[in-house]
Amino acid sequence: MPSFRTHDLRHVFGTRLAAMGVRLQRTQELMGLSSVQMVVRYAHPDETDPARAAIEELSRRQIQPPNSQDDGSWR
């Protein structure tokens, strides 16, 4: 694989988490990213995956993460 870069593994990890239905905030935490918008850059679910539409929609919106007193769920 001449075009493989170690950084590509971050994209694979983000994509696999999205495909498994892991919440975006949890993915953000696991990947050590600064924002949910960064999760959208790294998560590339399969075209047939229902999560893809949700991730693409989130990329078009300004998302505010829950505050520290919140239970962590998205409303």
Q: What per-residue confidence (pLDDT) applies to 26?
A: 92
Q: Is pLDDT at 22 greater than 80 in this prediction?
A: yes
Q: What per-residue confidence (pLDDT) applies to 41?
A: 82
Q: How many of the other CB atoms lie within 10 Å of CB of 71?
A: 5
Q: How many of the other CB atoms lie within 10 Å of CB of 39?
A: 26
Q: What angle do CA 69, 73, 75 make, to 5 degrees?
A: 105
Q: How high is the mean pLDDT of the chain?
A: 75
Long-range contacts of 36-41 (CB under 8 A, 24+ apart): 36/63, 36/65, 37/63, 39/14
Of 54, 49, 53, 74, nearest to 64 by C-alpha is: 74
pLDDT per position as a tens digit, 35-64: 888 888 887 766 556 666 677 777 777 655
Q: What number is the average pLDDT over the span 13-27?
A: 86
Q: Where are the domains of the chain?
A: 8-60
Top pLDDT among 69 and 4 is at 4
